[in-house]
Structure 1
Amino acid sequence: MTGLIGVGVLFLPFGLRIWYVERSMRRNGVRMVATCVDHVYEGNSANPRRLVCTGATADGRSMRWNVDADPDSSPRVGEPIDLVYDARYPGQAERWTEKKSPVSLGVGWTSLAVLLIAMGTLVVLLG
């Protein structure tokens, strides 16, 4: 079952990268109010999949971000939207939300990768 090890090794850098970006956003995130300037639709959906937002960073740079749309509460064009951007990498932003999951996506992918590598190693050693 070296295939499990291979899949785990492929997932590991992906999970670690997501984990790093999420951790950086938590540590260096700057909350701000941006303006929704466009909606991006994909497929035949009546709801937008992404929002194009503009705003200024704390140091006055004008920025443009693409963020995920929320089907339950997407602002109209011209309306304000709460965002958080990474002060170290201001080109990355996401919608601000009070309810955050205690287990992040990066932790989940990294844990899955480690589990697959461990299972594959055990199968090889015991089999």
Structure 2
Amino acid sequence: MTGLIGIGVLLLPFGLRIWYVERSLKRNGVRVVARCIDRVYEGNSADPKRVLCEYFADDGSRMRWIVSGEPDFPEVGDRVELIYDAHYPSQAERWTEKRFPITLGVGWTSLSVLLIAAGTLGALLT
């Protein structure tokens, strides 16, 4: 049971950090249209998984960032909508209108809390 608590304690800061970044992006996010300039191949795969995009931040500086090819895979030269945190304009992600209500940060944090609770309850019952 202490193993569950330990895993939960180790995962909790990770989940909280992701949640914080997601909330910051939601509050300070700037939507921008970027141009796809190259495909990114990873490992031994013949199919590209991500795309290198170029966009201009609010201050006029040119930024490049590798983003996911999902939900559709854009071609080189296509334009995609990105969102970046106004405090960190060099880091962006694909903007999609359909977002899950439960984000990755909420999921990891919830899992951590559940592991801690299950470990604590198990320790109390034994």
Fold-level match, TM-score > 0.5? yes
CA distance in structure 1 between the partners assigned to 2:95 and 2:22 by the alignment? 13
C-alpha RMSD of matched pairs (Å) = 1.2
Aligned partner of residue 77 in structure 1, secondary structure: coil
CA distance in structure 1 between the partners assigned to 2:58 and 2:92 by the alignment? 13
CA distance in structure 2 between the partners assigned to 1:106 and 1:61 by the alignment? 30
- The residue aligned with 1:66 is 66
Structure 1: which 4+ aligned runs deviate by more than 3 Å?
43-47
Q: Shift in Å at residue 123 of structure 1? A: 1.1
Normalised by the length of structure 2, the TM-score is 0.94
Read off the aligned partner of 1:95 and give its amino acid letter: R
- The residue aligned with 1:30 is 30
Cα deviation, 1:83-109, whole Å, max 9, x if unaligned, reads 111101112210010001111110010
- The residue aligned with 1:119 is 118
- The residue aligned with 1:39 is 39
- The residue aligned with 2:98 is 99
Q: Which 5+ residue runs of structure 1 have no aligned equivalent? A: none
Which stretch shows the higher mean deviation, 15-24 or 39-48? Answer: 39-48
CA distance in structure 2 between the partners assigned to 1:49 and 1:5 by the alignment? 36
Read off the aligned partner of 2:6 and give its amino acid letter: G
Aligned residues: 126
Read off the aligned partner of 1:123 and give its amino acid letter: G
Normalised by the length of structure 1, the TM-score is 0.93
Cα deviation, 1:53-82, whole Å, max 9, x if unaligned, reads 111101111111111112x52111122111
CA distance in structure 2 between the partners assigned to 1:84 and 1:47 by the alignment? 25
CA distance in structure 2 between the partners assigned to 1:30 and 1:92 by the alignment? 11
Which stretch shows the higher mean deviation, 46-55 or 82-91? Answer: 46-55
Read off the aligned partner of 1:112 and give its amino acid letter: L
CA distance in structure 2 between the partners assigned to 1:5 and 1:114 by the alignment? 9
